[in-house]
Structure 1
Amino acid sequence: MSIGKLIVLTGPSGVGKGTLLKLLLERHSQLYVSISATTRSPRPGEVDGKSYYFVSRPQFAEAIGSGSLLEWAEYAGNYYGTLRHQVEEKIAEGKWVILEIELKGARQIKQSFPSASSIFILPPSLDELEKRIKSRGQDSSEAIALRLATSRLEIAAAKEFDYQIVNENLEVALAEIEAALFTNQATISASENK
């Protein structure tokens, strides 16, 4: 039986984490994405236990108090977190569990699960990141400004992670993630973001 492991994938909003993760999952069947718990209401089409584990605020507070979460954070008035037992169970089965999480949660994982591999996805530049966020057409100009201010703080923390990969070209970034995960001999490019 193969040995399981925990992998943390983080980076600023709009950098392409979700797209890279989707491609990784298509290529590597041994990877498993952890399903987060959240206190927010399900959106149309979301399924409990598949999209998220939808829980009440008291249930979430109980999970925090009992140490049942590897990490958690509040975002936009709702709580999100990773269930410890789910991750440990999958790792015991030999799965490679990937957490696609924000910086705060990634830092918590480094404390609670120090053997986890951590990958920080960087944009080629802040200008490019701004273009990507605007092209989504989902945010007001105020929300975009807030996302970019947050992104600057997140990018400053990139060196805290095992690997820093610049997502300028999707295929190149994907190959670098694969090298980091499967050969540990990746030539990882660091960005000079300003």
Structure 2
Amino acid sequence: MVSHNADTVRSRLARLTDEYDPEVIEERETLDDDFFAELAGYAADGYTGGGYAWVVRQTPPELSASMPDAEDLDEPYPRVLLGYGRGDGAWGPAGGGRENGESYEEATEREVFEETGIECSVTDCRSVRHLVSESETGEDRVHTLWVTFLARETGGSIEVQESELNGAAWFHELPDRLHPTVEARPLSWDEWG
């Protein structure tokens, strides 16, 4: 049996759990031969998954001179940044794949900026999904980690990468339609502050 990335993923998972103490979710899936071969090829090149972030904005940005006084506005904060995925019609944390040499934190910060135009800084690790993808024969496996962080906004303004997202927005209350990877474990209010 070939088990791609098993040792590397275990090592990276150990670092994340030692540093942050996140919820760890173990999952398995079976992929058709073509998709498995593609994933195994990425794994051979060092691909081990990616990271996503619930980016929190604590206070509103300053108003422009043409806006009314801030005292007249009733805007609830904090807010969380979510992206509206292409093809799935759901909102979720922005992020993506880790490139060679990046930590999951670095990959997450880079991907959030590329996809939404928002700069952020990772503050905590909320969960790590250790996914073992098997070939249809069950003889080969690829191990990946999908890490969900909490982060704080540090700059930028929303500018959507349309090849990745159909939109991005700041929410004070989570929308009804969340991406399947986060709908069972949405961000709770006590985590926003």
Q: Which structure shows the bigger proportion of residues in strand conformation? A: 2
TM bucket (normalised to shorter chain) is under 0.3
Q: Which structure shows the bigger proportion of residues in helix conformation? A: 1
The structure with the larger Rg is 2
